[in-house]
């Protein structure tokens, strides 16, 4: 088992992603999540660049750090100035972190054109700055910016820059593929060269994903001798992002037998990825390797048939090792095996009734032809199976509804009237809301809450609309995906119609029905009775 240091830069480099804006509270939550996961280093930001990062470092001591050490990031001193007299270095020192990460130029192009100083002065800037923090008792990580491009342009000078940092006491030399254009074969050759020249130091890599190789480059770099990998949660970062630290961790632990996280923490990978996406207020990528909700999903009928016999038939690793799970999707591509496996996941055994499984499959394919999508709507799938199987309980029957949308004085107001039959009792309820769906939800709840108090725990958390054939303009068929939640989790239902309100009602009514089923509410009509 080899030791590789996992260095997370979500709070600095990752936060440079377009659309990602973390508050100080957000940054503290992300740092706590990464520490709980067990990464070695959390780079908190650049304390000299903005008040937010300065406040974060001032409050970072509030966190009960268990696994990670905190790093502050900054640049080497300015040209023709002493390290002692550089205000930015002073602010970096004031952050009080045990690790200081210094970025410096290693590409002659940037020395000549960006810094506009001599190459000798750049070497002095690197050495002086590293020595400044080493004398203060800080561990220094030197980030050689644009190292791989610099090596390609002038290998001798790029290596001189590393030597300057090493001579001043930096214990880690991180080679940065800042433009993200280096391919794995070049990474391997260059990392081997650097590790042979600096055998006593930790060599790290910081890879960007502009050529879609950030994770691959990180993995092969470790194989070539690197002992630190820098990356960001969910691959966040500028342009195309950084190496996804979760994929790197999973790849090294499960494919290369490296020990990276504390015992048992690998199984927290998927939940940590989702938690950070939630804090970042960004959509969580379902196709994200290892941790995404579709990472171990199967849609093709042939695949599902094999999975029914061997769970690992179409999974490269056991999903549970990273806290994920395998699941079978149902769609127009499904075969009987998909239906059987998916129904079994939901606790419905159809294996003893092949004709019923075929009926369910026929119903699914006909519905998907009309525009339904069950692969992302497990709740609607279960309700469909129960209905076809004659096991569908009923909590209410719709007699009708009416929705009125009024605009007056620049203000929109929606009112919905819902007429239901609750057994032999007819109930009429009125709801008002921001838009017709909200009004329908309010009316439905008013009609049902007295009979079903469990509704108090059910809430709507997401609502998506998709036009299925834009060429039909305003008469196009609309698909609504509605996600509801209670204290124990979430579920999604689907509705389809050429009327958006009708599609929304269908998804809403199914969502309420499924929630009552989960809650164990007693139905008015018991299936099979």
Residues 109 and 204 occupy one common structural domain = yes
Q: Would you say 41 and 10 are in contact if contact means Cβ atoms under 8 Å apart?
A: no
* Residue 178 covered by a domain: yes
Q: In what order do the strands lie in the sheet with 478-486?
A: 459-467, 478-486, 489-497
Is residue 434 assigned to a domain? yes
| Tokens, residue 56 | 């974060």
Domain presence at residue 142: yes
At 445, list the tokens: 């709840």
**Pairing of β 69-75 and β 139-145:** unpaired
Q: Are strands 459-467 and 478-486 parallel, antiparallel or unpaired?
A: antiparallel
Q: How far apart are CA 186 and CA 207, in angstroms?
A: 13
Identify whether 125 is part of a domain.
yes
Residue 288 lies in a domain: no
CA distance 520 to 515: 9
Question: Do both 256 and 349 map to the same domain?
Answer: no
Q: The domain that contains 415 carries what CATH number?
A: 3.30.160.270
Residue 227 and residue 314 share a domain? no
Do 352 and 441 belong together in one domain? Answer: no
User: Which of the listed residues 245, 280, 315 is the one where a domain comes to its end?
Assistant: 280
d(CA 309, CA 302): 12
CB < 8 Å & 24+ apart, contacts of 468-477: 468/371, 468/496, 477/370, 477/371
Other CB atoms closer than 10 Å to residue 340's CB: what's the count? 22
Domain co-membership, 58 together with 128 = yes
275 and 330 belong to one structural domain: no
Give the per-residue pLDDT at 298. Answer: 67
Say how many domains are in the chain.
3
Q: Which helix (H) or strand (E) holds 253?
A: helix 245-255
Domain termination site, one of 253, 280, 307: 280
CB under 8 A, 24+ apart: contacts of 291-298: 291/246, 291/250, 291/322, 291/323, 291/324, 292/324, 293/324, 295/319, 295/324, 296/324, 296/325, 296/326, 296/327, 297/326, 297/327, 297/328, 297/329, 297/375, 298/326, 298/327, 298/328, 298/329, 298/338
> What pLDDT tens digit does each residue of the chain (529 aa) get?
358 999 999 999 999 999 899 999 999 999 999 999 999 999 999 997 788 999 999 999 989 999 999 999 999 999 999 999 999 999 999 999 999 999 999 999 999 999 999 999 999 999 999 999 999 999 999 999 999 999 999 999 999 999 999 999 999 999 999 999 999 999 999 999 999 999 999 999 999 999 999 999 999 999 999 999 999 999 999 999 999 999 999 999 999 989 999 999 999 999 899 889 888 888 788 889 999 877 877 654 444 444 445 555 567 898 889 988 776 555 444 455 556 666 666 666 767 777 777 787 788 778 877 888 776 677 888 888 888 877 778 889 999 999 999 888 778 889 999 999 998 899 999 999 988 999 999 999 999 999 999 999 999 888 888 887 655 555 678 889 899 998 888 888 999 998 999 999 999 999 999 999 989 888 876 544 4
Cβ count near 254 (within 10 Å):
16
Long-range contacts of 453-459 (CB under 8 A, 24+ apart): 454/515, 454/516, 454/519, 454/520, 454/521, 455/512, 455/515, 455/516, 457/486, 457/487, 457/519, 458/484, 458/485, 458/486, 458/511, 458/512, 458/515, 458/516, 458/519, 459/484, 459/485, 459/486
pLDDT of residue 337: 57
- Flag whether 99 is in a domain: yes
Q: Which of 370, 388, 412 is at the close of a domain?
A: 370
Q: Is residue 385 part of a domain?
A: no
Is 322 in the same domain as 271?
A: no
CB 414 within 8 A of CB 438: yes
Q: What is the CATH number for 89?
A: 3.20.20.70
Three-state DSSP class for 412? strand
* Residue ranges of E strands in 56-193: 69-75, 99-105, 139-145, 172-177
**What's the domain range around 328?**
297-370
> Do 339 and 440 share a domain, yes or no?
no
Tell me the pTM. Answer: 0.71
What's the alpha-carbon Rg for the chain, to the nearest Å?
29
Q: Are 215 and 95 within one domain?
A: yes
**Which tokens is 238 given?**
């500028």
Residues 338 and 405 in one domain: no
Q: Look up residue 505 and give its two tokens.
A: 């009602």
Contact 318, 269 (CB under 8 A): no
Neighbouring-strand partners of residue 489 = 486
Instruction: Give the C-alpha separation, 429 to 438, whole Å.
Output: 14
Whether 529 is covered by a domain: the verdict is no
**In terms of domains, do 241 and 157 share one?**
yes
- Residues 142, 261 within the same domain: yes
């Amino acid at each position: 088992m080899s030791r590789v240091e996992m260095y997370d830069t979500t709070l600095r480099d990752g936060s440079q992603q377009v659309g990602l804006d973390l508050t100080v509270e957000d940054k503290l939550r992300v740092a706590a999540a990464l520490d709980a996961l067990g990464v070695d280093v959390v780079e908190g930001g650049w304390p000299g660049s903005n008040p937010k990062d300065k406040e974060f470092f001032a409050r970072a001591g509030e966190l009960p750090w268990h696994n990670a050490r905190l790093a502050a990031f900054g640049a080497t001193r300015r040209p023709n100035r002493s390290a002692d007299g550089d205000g930015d270095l002073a602010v970096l020192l004031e952050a009080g972190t045990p690790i200081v990460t210094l970025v410096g130029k290693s590409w002659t192009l940037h020395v000549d054109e960006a810094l506009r100083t001599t190459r000798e002065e750049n070497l002095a800037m690197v050495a002086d700055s590293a020595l400044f923090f080493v004398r203060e008792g800080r561990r220094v990580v030197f980030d050689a910016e644009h190292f791989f491009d610099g090596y390609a342009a002038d290998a001798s000078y790029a290596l001189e820059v590393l030597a300057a940092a090493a001579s001043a006491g930096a214990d880690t030399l991180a080679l940065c593929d800042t433009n993200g254009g280096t391919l794995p074969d070049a990474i391997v050759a260059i990392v081997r060269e650097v590790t042979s020249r600096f055998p006593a130091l930790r060599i790290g890599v910081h890879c960007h994903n502009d050529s879609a190789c950030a994770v691959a480059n990180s993995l092969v770099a470790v194989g070539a001798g690197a002992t630190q990998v820098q990356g960001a949660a969910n691959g966040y970062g500028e342009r195309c992002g950084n190496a996804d630290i979760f994929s790197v961790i999973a790849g090294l632990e499960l494919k290369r037998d490296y020990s990276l996280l504390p015992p048992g923490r690998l199984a927290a990978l998927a939940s940590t990825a989702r938690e950070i996406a939630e804090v970042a207020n960004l959509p969580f990528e379902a196709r994200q390797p290892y941790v995404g909700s579709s990472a171990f999903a199967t849609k093709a009928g042939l695949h599902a048939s094999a999975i029914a016999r061997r769970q690992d038939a179409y999974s490269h690793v056991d999903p549970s090792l990273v806290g994920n799970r395998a699941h079978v999707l149902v769609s127009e591509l499904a075969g009987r095996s998909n239906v059987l496996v998916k129904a079994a996941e939901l606790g419905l055994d159809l294996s003893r009734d092949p004709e019923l499984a075929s009926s369910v499959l026929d119903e699914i394919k006909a519905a998907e032809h009309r525009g339904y999508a069950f692969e992302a709507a497990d709740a609607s799938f279960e309700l469909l199976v129960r209905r076809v199987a004659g096991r569908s309980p009923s909590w209410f029957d719709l007699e009708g509804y009416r929705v009125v949308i009024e605009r007056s004085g620049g203000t929109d107001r929606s009112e919905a009237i819902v007429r239901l039959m609750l057994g032999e009792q007819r109930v009429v309820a009125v709801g008002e809301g921001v838009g017709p769906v909200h009004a329908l939800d309010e009316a439905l709840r008013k009609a049902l809450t007295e009979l079903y108090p469990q509704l108090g725990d059910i809430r709507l958390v997401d609502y998506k609309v998709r036009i299925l054939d834009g060429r039909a303009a305003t008469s196009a068929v609309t698909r609504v995906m509605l996600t509801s939640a209670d204290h124990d989790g979430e579920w999604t239902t689907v509705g389809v119609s050429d009327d958006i309100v009708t599609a929304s009602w269908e998804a809403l009514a199914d969502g309420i029905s499924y929630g009552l089923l989960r809650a164990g509410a007693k139905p008015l009509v018991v299936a099979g009775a």
